[in-house]
A and B are shown apart, each in its own frame.
Chain A
């Protein structure tokens, strides 16, 4: 079963940001959201792995290390489907600009690295539409690692891919695991029309480029909130 995500014809627009942990994409999407809000646009932000209904199961699975590649994949798909059905689609239909910090490509990359068959994962997510714009923030592994560690003392179990037993050293495991995810992202970059942003740069030039691309591709004034 191979179906590329289909284009949507909702009045809203969907913008996804993708990248490795520590690539700085969350900062970038936050600044993008602020920029849009200040212009008075109808904008909504949705984060990966944030459905409240599914959250307790996901965190239980993670903290007790109950997850296998298959259940890891399915529980994240459940989380995504919940946000998709209850938030993303209704908002797109209502003419919102929806910003997604991680989208289905995160699942494609991670699950395949964990050993799930690509066509199986793509099949599961085939109900999700193709974003109007996808930014991929490409940073070197060392840069990513440093950004993560400057924010908190340790790597998390799953972000370091420790469940894959690649190495008993979390830093080494992180490098191998994230390196493989990067390969997966790069492999799908052309097919899904990623806008690749050099995320080794400082914050401002990246944001300037992102805003420029968004402005060129989306008629922003038409998404203004109604005057109250």
Chain B
């Protein structure tokens, strides 16, 4: 068999020297995970946050190509992908039958499972770990729904602080257009329909996304995201991400 795997899209990436990343110490936001030594986490954790339609998966796919072309091994992680509970979580969200605290803890379980089985092993192995959403989305969703911030920070004290967090900012009006262009409908949860803001899904979507953006602004203050204007052309956005990642790989300059 000599058939080559066809890649959907071939981009020209200039010949790059392989850059050996500068090791930087990792830390956990809180107590971390029992028995995990943060010193052993030699990989880099790169998080891309943003609403549905903000271009997260497109940007991540481009980053993976670029990183691999530059000689880095990558791993991709995201929410609702755990072996442990993703199926049950999917069922539960389809029915909207869980209480808020329950749903929050269910997501936390899913995150913890991914953390221990995918993120931490990849970081130990020295990989570039690209996370399609991280604890901030989970926290913002819960904050919009009135859960206590201190309680959430305690729960997510298990998470390692990423090396860089990008928040792709796109206005709610633009998000509507992108969601319709993609699948001609708005998602129940991304519209915050459980909150009873409005029985009109369009209005609810706009208001919910405004509230989410507001929570992200607040979280930005404590967690220091890089806010990226996601309304620009895809390549321009990616160039900005690449430049920031390059400086992360180079490590703190003396």
Cα-based distance from A120 to B84 in the complex (angstroms) = 21
A contact face: mostly helix, strand, loop, or mixed: helix
| Stretch in B16-24, B147-155, B171-179, B180-188 touching the partner | B147-155
Which residue of B is nearest A122, CB measured? B154
Given A56-B88, A60-B84: A120 and B99 interface contact (C-beta under 8 Å): no
Q: Tell me the residues in window 51-108 of chain A with beta carbons closer than 8 Å to chain B beta carbons.
A: 53-54, 56-57, 60-61, 66-71, 74-75, 77-78, 81-82, 84-86
Besides A57-B84, A82-B102, 20 other A-B contacts (C-beta < 8 A):
A56-B87, A57-B88, A66-B83, A68-B116, A70-B34, A71-B116, A74-B112, A75-B85, A78-B102, A78-B109, A81-B99, A82-B99, A85-B100, A86-B99, A117-B34, A120-B157, A123-B150, A123-B155, A124-B154, A126-B151
Per-residue A-contact encoding for B99-117, CB less than 8 Å = 1, 0 else: 1111011101100110110
5 contacts between A and B (CB under 8 A): A66-B113, A71-B84, A77-B109, A85-B99, A123-B150
* B105 in complex: contacting residue of A74, A86, A115, A116, CB < 8 Å: A74
CB-defined contacts of B98 to chain A, threshold 8 Å: 53, 82, 85
Does B158 sit at the interface, judged by CB under 8 A? yes
Q: Which residues of B contact A (CB under 8 A)?
A: 30-31, 33-35, 83-85, 87-88, 92, 97-102, 104-106, 108-109, 112-113, 115-116, 150-151, 154-155, 157-158
Bound complex: CA A69 to CA B33 (Å): 9
* Nearest CB of B to A103, in Å: 16
Closest-CB distance, B234 to chain A (whole angstroms):
36
Size class of the contact patch on chain A: 20 to 34
A124 CB contacts on chain B under 8 angstroms: 105, 151, 154-155
Chain B residues near A67 (CB-CB < 8 A): 84
**Does the CB pair A74–B102 fall under 8 Å?**
no
Chain A hits for B34, CB < 8 A: 69-70, 114-117
